[in-house]
């Protein structure tokens, strides 16, 4: 993310505390041309197969306790982590960092509206973009959405099969049904996955689960970088490091399980 590698910070921080970490590039980063040419590409194709393979690789590793392999996902990775657990029985638990629970297409509308509000003088200029993206989001919810719906009519130009798969996925309900212990961490200043819009859904859906721990780091943004005031994309540019308290939270929770 610019000059920052918050997941590398996390991996090294956990390794310092005795927790082995396997991280890998998403297929959309490693093989963008192949993904672009795959018309039926879905959320499962983006995450699940590779994460399941990673869990199985770790469980076979002689230095790893096969019964204590956890899946950690950040942002959309946190959204999809419950689906990984549903697909792989060997997952011992989940760590969800700033995981979106609101549907992605409407979260995008909310983010565009928020970014337009950061400069009141440009709010009116941002309104057409908000309205245009709202129409794209409405197309995702339309009963007329089909695999043949043109990409140009959908958010981010992503093909319809991806949205059909995502539209049928409820991350909170999937997490509740998984039976795995969970640690959910959220930045209080995050505008991409928010306390009010996303964490509230995790809390409501998992309220009856005593094995779910939820913690908010009030000063942190979406990348869990501490700061002050309203968060903005400009915060992601200066070189900085993940909040050490987040590393400590995860290390302690994993050790306790």
Q: Whole-model pTM?
A: 0.94
In the prediction, which pLDDT does 73 show?
96
Catalytic residue, from 9, 190, 198, 243: name it. Answer: 190
198 is catalytic: no
Cα–chain-centroid distance for residue 129? 24
Does 222 participate in catalysis according to the annotation? yes
pLDDT at 126 over 90: no
The domains of the chain are located at 6-102+158-256
Taking residues 206-233, report their average pLDDT. Answer: 96
Return d(Cα 174, Cα 151) in angstroms, integer.
28
Give the CA radius of gyration of the chain.
19
Among residues of the chain, what percentage have pLDDT more than 70?
A: 100
**Residue 121: is its pLDDT beyond 90?**
no
Residue 174 in tokens: 């999937």
Annotated catalytic residue, options 45, 50, 75, 170? 75
* Second-level CATH architecture of 6-102+158-256: 3-Layer(aba) Sandwich (3.40)
Q: What is the pLDDT of residue 123?
A: 74
**For residue 193, which phi and psi values (nearest 5 degrees)?**
-115, 120
Question: Is 63 a known active-site residue?
Answer: no
- Listed in order, strand segments (DSSP E) in 75-189 are 93-97, 182-187
pLDDT tens readout for residues 62-82: 999 999 999 999 999 999 999
């Amino acid at each position: 993310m610019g000059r920052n590698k918050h997941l590398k910070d996390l991996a090294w921080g956990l390794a310092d505390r005795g927790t082995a970490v396997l991280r890998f590039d998403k297929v959309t980063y490693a093989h963008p041309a192949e993904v672009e040419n795959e018309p039926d590409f879905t959320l499962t194709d983006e995450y699940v197969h590779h994460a399941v393979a990673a869990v199985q690789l770790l469980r076979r590793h002689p230095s790893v306790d096969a019964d204590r392999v956890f899946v950690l996902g950040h942002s959309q990775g946190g959204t999809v982590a419950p689906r990984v657990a549903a697909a792989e029985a060997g997952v011992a638990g989940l760590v969800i960092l700033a995981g979106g629970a609101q549907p992605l297409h409407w979260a995008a509308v909310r983010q565009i509206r928020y970014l337009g509000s950061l400069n009141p003088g440009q709010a009116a200029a941002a309104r057409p973009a908000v309205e245009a993206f709202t129409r794209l989001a409405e197309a995702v919810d339309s009963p007329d959405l089909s695999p043949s719906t043109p990409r140009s009519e959908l958010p981010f130009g992503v093909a319809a099969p991806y949205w059909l798969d995502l539209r049928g996925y409820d991350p909170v309900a999937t997490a509740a049904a998984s039976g795995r212990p969970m640690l959910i961490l959220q930045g209080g200043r995050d505008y991409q996955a928010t306390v009010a819009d996303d964490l509230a859904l995790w809390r409501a859906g998992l309220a009856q689960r005593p094995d779910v721990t939820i913690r908010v780091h009030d000063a942190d943004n979406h990348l869990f970088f501490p700061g002050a005031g309203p968060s903005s994309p400009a915060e992601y540019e200066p070189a900085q490091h993940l909040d050490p308290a987040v590393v400590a939270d995860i290390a302690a929770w994993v050790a306790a399980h």
